[in-house]
A and B are shown apart, each in its own frame.
Chain A
Amino acid sequence: MKRLSHLSPDECVLLTAARLLDGRIVWRGQDGRWFDRVAQATCLTAEESAAALEEATAQAARQGVMGVYPVVARKGAPPQPVSMKEHIRAFGPTVHPEFSYAPQPEASS
């Protein structure tokens, strides 16, 4: 994964995890709650993300999520994860457009 210390100005950090009950991908958003859509993820600076990650990991079991980790994304609405793997997690499998999670931003790579 891209190192958090080398973010460019148009990039931020999102926190993601999987939901225990159904394994679905979730993104950490407002009030530290977990959402299905990447559009609701809170964009964090690298500094903010370290504390948020610690807090989210500590709360994970109680919130019914597991495997919390940070993801680098380009800012926007919705934010766009940089790596292909996280892009697929945010927007759905590329081979099944009918299962996509959200409209992809114009600049999708």
Chain B
Amino acid sequence: MKLFNLSQQHIIPAEEADPVSLAELKEHPEAYAVALEPDESVEALRPFLAQITLVVLHFPIFRDGRAFTQARSLREYEDYKEEIRVTGHVLPDQAAFLRRCGVDTVVLSDDDDQTEWEAQLKRFTITYQQSIAS
């Protein structure tokens, strides 16, 4: 497992993160990392966000774009400034979309090629919408 850094922000190393689930978070108020399922609302994190420094969002398959809305909501509605990470099935072709929705890091497997991610991140110099990350 390795991380690809989309935003060039300071990130939490892969081996250090041990996210709890939303349900577990309520039992472990000291936790700083939480993993959200695609059907869980980011609003539920509100009481805990002050101490959270990592939110991990999940793609069951790359076509399931709910994490884009979750990430953007965290930034826009909850004013969350710390790291957002995505796991699961994501494609390098989604790099710029992830970045523009406020995602910082992508979990890749060790044999994934990072050059494709780097290329995709730089591909578009022109966009037609303002975004939360711009």
Does A touch B (CB under 8 Å) in the complex?
A: no
Interface residues of A (CB under 8 A from B): none
